[in-house]
Amino acid sequence: PMRGSQRAAAGALLLALLPTALEWLLAREFAVHTSGGVLITGASTGIGHHAAVALARQGYHVYAGVRKEADAAAISGAGIATLHPVTIDVADSASLAAAVASVGDALEALGLPLIAVVNNAGISKDLPVEVQSLSSARQVFDVNYFGAVDVTQQFLPLLRAAGGGARIVTTGSLAGWISMPGTATYSGTKHALEAFSDALRMELQPHDISVSLIKPGYVVTEIGAKALAGSDPEALARSNPAGHALYKDFLELEAIRVKHVFELAPGPEVTTEVITHAITSRHPKTRYFVGAAGVLPGWVAARIKWLLPDRLWDLMIAYEEIITRSLA
């Protein structure tokens, strides 16, 4: 017979696996488009660029959204006939309207539908709440959240014209479920994308359009370096000396922690794999956990956060701070 500790362990394992089992049992089938157009925002570098190249090499006509002419030139010079740069600023509705017209005309000339939109554009400018400027916070929401909403609204008519089986894929984050200290703004946008994707998925069920949310943990991309720059203690000292004095130790430790976790993180190939699955599978998932959360896989960290009371989770994060101090 099983001992009490063994029964408890088995029960915990079953509880952790239950969501996965139910997801498999309730998987919904969608038509798969083996050709057509795919729009990816934030495709100049990192996750978006890697996915754009991979999907173009599979034969999809990929419209890689960039803001800078130099990035557009680099994409054009990649030598992939089905990879097309398109100028998009997701925080500018007029820019999006022009992109919709450009992509629509290009696909009409090819006789192809738009079969997927990947909302990937994102920025990170985080500081502790007390010293975070509202202008920076609003800019992050304008790009990460409102940008995704605007892109989706403007491109949905083209997706609906595909006749069923079109896909909307949004790059969220493990930060949409796990908020770390000092990341209130970025995590706030990713929490918002959770609600956005859930509501959108149910709204588009009658139109046979799949909606998936990608939830990366730490993945090695340029946004990590930019996040560190945005939390630069010296920059805060120049703009807000009093705030710098309050949070100097925290920011210095955070820079060490983030540097360490990125050293353990995989590259964007892990996100490209699940983005491709969300677009090409007959049974796309509603959520994909990828990447790392320090020494743990992202999905494991998410399960632990789900199971533990908040106060116990807070103690774990405090313990991580002690570990970080030992790395300093």
Q: Please list the active-site residues.
A: 186
278: its two tokens: 């969300």
Coil, strand or helix: which one is 220? coil
Residue 177 · residue 194 · CB < 8 Å: yes
Enumerate the H helices of the chain as residue ranges: 4-25, 46-57, 69-76, 93-110, 134-141, 147-160, 184-203, 222-230, 233-239, 241-263, 269-280, 298-307, 310-327
How far apart (Å, rounded) are the C-alpha atoms in residues 7 and 42?
Answer: 48
Q: How far is CA 83 from CA 9, 46, 128, in A?
A: 50, 16, 40
161: its two tokens: 């014209």
How far, in whole angstroms, is CA 2 from its chain's centroid? 42
Instruction: For residue 247, report the phi and psi dihedrals to the nearest 5 degrees.
Output: -120, 15
**Torsion sign across C-alpha atoms 260, 264, 269, 273:** negative
Number of Cβ within 10 Å of residue 20's Cβ equals: 12
- Pick from 327, 185, 317, 318: which is nearest to 253 by CA? 327
